[in-house]
């Protein structure tokens, strides 16, 4: 049996985590100007190099805005953030997304998955359908929440790839961590069979090349997570 190597977080990681916590908790409100790097380093007992690289990373993630010769300010991270920002918010909330975040992700999925279905069905080949079928079959054979969530991701990612749009699978991949989190919660609340049914039913309509029914099922099953019987809000 192999065990995962344990590593301690670096001072930079600890610095980033501390500032993220202060920002997300409201202790450092949006618009607040941070102390100079030298002062931060002295206060937090780390080197200026740690502070400088940590601030650069936090700016990249949308938590800070650096204004040369003026200072560093707490940014409106929900307006200017990235997928990394969302993941940091999830970590701060113990891996759980807010209701509004869940709804937003599902609404984006409806748009992108619908586009993928509409694009791929008219041109999908038997070999490509066999790939989707393989994921559905593997989902039917596992009783692991983590594994079935990973397989569901692969199924829908393959669908995005088969759309022929070069950006769609890359955008879908950028949402992998929050999507896996949502599917795992979905399975915990509503059972693995519900996730199997969603993918298997969509696959059936794709196999039949029935674009209208595939789109209808896709939108119905995802909207049901937002407002119906399979909600996953906390």
pLDDT interval class at 5 (50, 70, 90)? low
Mean pLDDT of the chain: 91
Same-fold call for 11-81 versus 96-227 = no
- Segment 196-221 shows an average pLDDT of 96
Query: What's the pLDDT score for residue 146?
Result: 94
Nearest alpha-carbon partner for 44 in 9, 14, 75: 14
Domain boundaries, the chain: 11-81, 96-227
Angle between helices 176-190 and 145-162 (to 10 degrees): 130
pLDDT, one tens digit per residue, over 184-208 is 999 999 999 999 999 999 999 999 9
- Segment 98-123 shows an average pLDDT of 90
Angle ∠(87,107,118) on CA atoms, nearest 5: 120
The answer to whether 77 touches 85, Cβ cutoff 8 Å, is: yes
Report the chain's terminal Cα–Cα distance, integer Å.
Answer: 36
Fold for 96-227, please state it. 1.20.120
Name the β-bridge partners of 71: 67
Q: Which two tokens stand for residue 156?
A: 């829908």
CATH 1.10.10.10 fits 11-81, yes or no: yes
pTM: 0.78
Is the model more confident about 148 or about 228?
Answer: 148
pLDDT, one tens digit per residue, over 147-157 is 999 999 999 99
Q: Which two tokens stand for residue 122?
A: 């008219």
Please state, in angstroms and rounded to a whole number, the distance separating the CA atoms of residues 122 and 186.
Answer: 31
Q: Where are the beta strands (DSSP E) in the chain?
A: 64-67, 71-74
Q: Which two tokens stand for residue 35?
A: 């102390």
Query: What's the pLDDT score for residue 16?
Result: 93
How far, rounded to the nearest angstrom, does the alpha carbon of residue 48 sit from its chain's CA centroid?
A: 32
């Amino acid at each position: 049996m192999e065990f995962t190597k344990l590593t301690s977080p670096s001072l930079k990681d600890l610095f980033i985590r501390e500032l993220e916590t202060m920002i997300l908790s409201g202790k450092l409100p949006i618009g607040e100007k941070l102390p100079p790097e030298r002062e931060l380093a002295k206060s937090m007992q780390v080197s200026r190099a740690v502070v400088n690289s940590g601030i650069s990373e936090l700016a990249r993630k949308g938590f800070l805005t650096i204004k040369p010769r003026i200072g560093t300010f707490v940014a409106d991270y929900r307006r200017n953030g990235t997928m990394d920002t969302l993941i940091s918010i999830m970590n701060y909330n113990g891996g759980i997304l807010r209701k509004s975040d869940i709804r937003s992700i599902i609404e984006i999925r409806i748009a992108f998955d619908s586009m993928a279905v509409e694009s791929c069905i008219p041109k999908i080949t038997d070999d490509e359908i066999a790939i989707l079928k393989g994921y559905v079959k593997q989902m039917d054979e596992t009783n692991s929440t983590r594994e079935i969530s990973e397989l569901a991701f692969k199924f829908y990612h393959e669908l995005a790839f088969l759309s022929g749009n070069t950006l769609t699978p890359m955008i879908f991949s950028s949402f992998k961590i929050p999507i896996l989190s949502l599917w795992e919660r979905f399975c915990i609340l509503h059972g693995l069979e519900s996730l199997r049914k969603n993918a298997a039913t969509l696959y059936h309509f794709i196999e039949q090349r029935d674009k209208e029914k595939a789109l209808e099922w896709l939108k119905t099953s995802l909207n049901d997570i937002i407002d119906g019987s399979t909600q996953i809000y906390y």
